[in-house]
Structure 1
């Protein structure tokens, strides 16, 4: 049974690299009919914040993929302590009583010993170690890394292939801190063993930790999970994406607040460092599940393109427009309704369903809907330049004749596409102007802009009274 986990630490908002890790875990679990686990790694009490935890949940909730089981490390401390002392009882860990400076540095002065191990502590007899501990002397519980020069820790990564490292290059890392708190390495491995995680899918920056983790799994007496490390995400200059350096660019909620559909953002993140082995780019969630394999994950880091002026990757914007185009009208109407509400517009569902198809191919984000359709919801148009009423290769006098004739036609026209098309083309012919010269002044008059949705459908949604009123106002502007 495939069991995977996503284990964020609540020390900052949900990073897009973390979101991609969650998505890849989720896709693999769903394809294999397995279990997706969310585990909050909140043992770093000093750095954890409620705001960060809320951000993680907000981001994951917006993605909408969900999980099957949920755990918090802060509620599992007894499990970690029990496992650490079980390792100690096997003589695979030892107490290190080395005094530390205020900054946490070893006072022994032996840099090599401080990094790799402290022989004086590693070789303490059990009796001496117990005596000093019972006397209340503080200590760190360290893993006793094998010092056999022939010993090599190795594993086969599902992305990066065969990996190995001599134990001569692995330090005696801590399992428990001097205050009794658990370290990341120990808590993570104990949880993975206890929760029977089958595959650990995480960022490439954790690959070097894996050698230590394999040693912990061995000490716990369990088989290590399979590992798949994912390429990192970088800025255009090649620098690793950083919350501190790049700010909101790396936050999932930046894209949410910019008006992205969650399914398009998931699609975008998947294409950062993975491809489906064909030419597809726009893919539904179902298609991503079906296509996902670790064979498709690249080893090279993936670049997120952005600038100081625009934090949004152009590829992400294009994908979002494609997903918007693919929505049904009711789906898109439901998605943009909160945008209009947040902008302070009031509307009924029936009207929004009529407007939605008119703007669907004109917007790249949900937020664009307001700029594309605000004139449908206001009593008075925003001020516009009367010169925009002048048709191409025409003048203000032509604009005035067109608007007055158009108004007369609209007073009795059937207010549907065919009826409006017929009477306005007939009026253009009667005036001796081209159809475009007839349509532009009317479009600007009723919409307040030259670029707007299809004219006849727009007139129909606005209704006769509103159209006549706005044309009258445009005539006054020209006069």
Structure 2
């Protein structure tokens, strides 16, 4: 698929019953990228008809996730619960035209119906007892029962569509029953609302997860009953966790914003998510602009994608290295503030520049930079191995030299070289204990560059503690 319907209009329609999880974020990304590739529009719709479980907190989190990923929408957020009058209008029209009907079955009747079907070895489903047909006598309307409204699904024939991901799919109408489109409380159901919304909003392409494949025949039949143009449908396979089971809100998935809190960059998350179910040759790392330029709806995979935390960390480490130091300083400042550490941005910018190559996340970067602001505790093994009786006199000499120099990288390097020469040591014999005492660890970037970013008094104090 490289030719698009004009104009292209895609949408993402999360339910605000929890956080925006990774599968929905990927769907949003692909829908956004497709619209941007073809110069179309991308709509954010909030499907909040599950009144009992929907919350404003979830809405806020969904919007925050979209904003963090940079998935800007051209329209929205549009809330279904603000469109109830429109749904009611369409339902009344369907009732008048005989395309929908009222059903007065109680939950107990429906359960008895299903029990009987199971006992006879039949497929369970609504048996159409309230479905009006020529010459059929309907049961008497029970008093005090609020009916549901059902869609009068075609009883025969096939529903076929050419799925943008999976290819041709056919489901016989005998496999689906008369769908409830309005509940007893008057609130319409998902499969009905989504059709009216996509119709009214002129959605040209519907991208969504595999779990919606079975909803599509009902929706296509409702579109056709309304005389509405059909969008193109594309269903992405699921994302599996590292345990091989489906990621979901209820099983192991965390929110998109949680990855922000864990120190991942939005550019990296966008890049990594796009590779879960789509590819552009062997390219692994690419910009947002490249993704938009390449994403024409082809090269979408039919098989489930595997979530790989190690791969995500690798991608993020690439973007950490490429990141602007001022941007990283802002992000790591937030991470340090969570630990009660308040640092100035110019200082953090220099620190971020020095350490970012060693870090996969801004949390890891904050772990490194904390040594500049809080006491460190070298391991007993490092102290025993490196801070020996042979080297302690050299540490005292170095501290004394530091007291008299201008605190620059060049002057620090000179003081270290002079101390090495005075005590007949090699560079690692002095540099390793200095790192252990000052930094709390023995592996760091160049020791003179690391020390230059410390307050001089802190360095001398930590060296004198040897």
User: Structures share a fold, TM > 0.5?
Assistant: yes
Q: Which residue of 2 aligns with 1:147?
A: 155
Q: Which residue of 2 aligns with 1:2?
A: 8
Counterpart among 330, 334, 338 of residue 342 in structure 1 = 338
Stretches of structure 1 lacking an aligned partner (at least 5 in a row)? 306-312, 475-479
Question: What root-mean-square deviation, in Å, do the aligned CA atoms of Structure 1 and Structure 2 show?
Answer: 2.6
Q: Which residue of 1 aligns with 2:29?
A: 23
Q: Which residue of 2 aligns with 1:34?
A: 40
Q: Which residue of 1 aligns with 2:350?
A: 354
Following TM superposition, the consecutive aligned residue runs of length 4 or more in structure 1 with deviations greater than 6 angstroms are 124-129
Q: Distance in 1 between matches of 2:162 and 2:181?
A: 25
Q: Distance in 2 between matches of 1:110 and 1:243?
A: 34
Q: Which residue of 2 aligns with 1:308?
A: none
SS of the residue corresponding to residue 345 of structure 1 reads coil
Q: Which residue of 2 aligns with 1:302?
A: 305
Instruction: Give 1:279 shift.
Output: 1.9
Instruction: Give 1:418 shift.
Output: 2.8
Matched, 1:285 2:264: no
Counterpart among 313, 316, 321 of residue 317 in structure 2 = 321
SS of the residue corresponding to residue 105 of structure 1 reads helix
Counterpart among 128, 135, 138 of residue 118 in structure 1 = 128
Moved more, 71-80 or 431-440: 431-440
Instruction: Give 1:451 shift.
Output: 2.5
Q: Which has the higher contact order (CA 8 A, sep 6+)?
A: 2
Q: Distance in 2 between matches of 1:35 and 1:106?
A: 48
Stretches of structure 2 lacking an aligned partner (at least 5 in a row)? 1-6
Moved more, 330-339 or 421-430: 421-430
Moved more, 73-82 or 173-182: 173-182
Q: Distance in 1 between matches of 2:136 and 2:91?
A: 16
Q: Distance in 2 between matches of 1:64 and 1:42?
A: 23
Moved more, 324-333 or 422-431: 422-431
Residue pair 1:372, 1:452 contacting (<8 A) in 2 also: no
Tell me the TM-score normalised to structure 2 length.
0.90
Q: Distance in 1 between matches of 2:31 and 2:444?
A: 43
Map Cα deviations across residues 332-390 of structure 1 (whole Å, 9 max, x no partner): 11221111122111222221122111211121111112221112123xx2343576356
Q: Distance in 1 between matches of 2:216 and 2:445?
A: 56
Q: Distance in 2 between matches of 1:426 and 1:237?
A: 55
Q: Distance in 1 between matches of 2:342 and 2:152?
A: 67
Q: Distance in 2 between matches of 1:446 and 1:365?
A: 23
Tell me the TM-score normalised to structure 1 length.
0.87
Q: Distance in 2 between matches of 1:390 and 1:414?
A: 31
Map Cα deviations across residues 74-116 of structure 1 (whole Å, 9 max, x no partner): 01011111112222222222222334328x6365975369715
Residue pair 1:159, 1:299 contacting (<8 A) in 2 also: yes
SS of the residue corresponding to residue 300 of structure 1 reads coil
Residue pair 1:92, 1:143 contacting (<8 A) in 2 also: yes
Distance verdict in 2 for CA 1:227–1:15, change over 3 Å: same
Q: Distance in 1 between matches of 2:127 and 2:290?
A: 50
Q: Which residue of 1 aligns with 2:179?
A: 173
Moved more, 196-205 or 48-57: 48-57
Counterpart among 258, 263, 270 of residue 266 in structure 1 = 270
Matched, 1:449 2:459: no
Q: Distance in 2 between matches of 1:322 and 1:5?
A: 30
Residue pair 1:233, 1:304 contacting (<8 A) in 2 also: yes
Q: Which residue of 1 aligns with 2:365?
A: 369
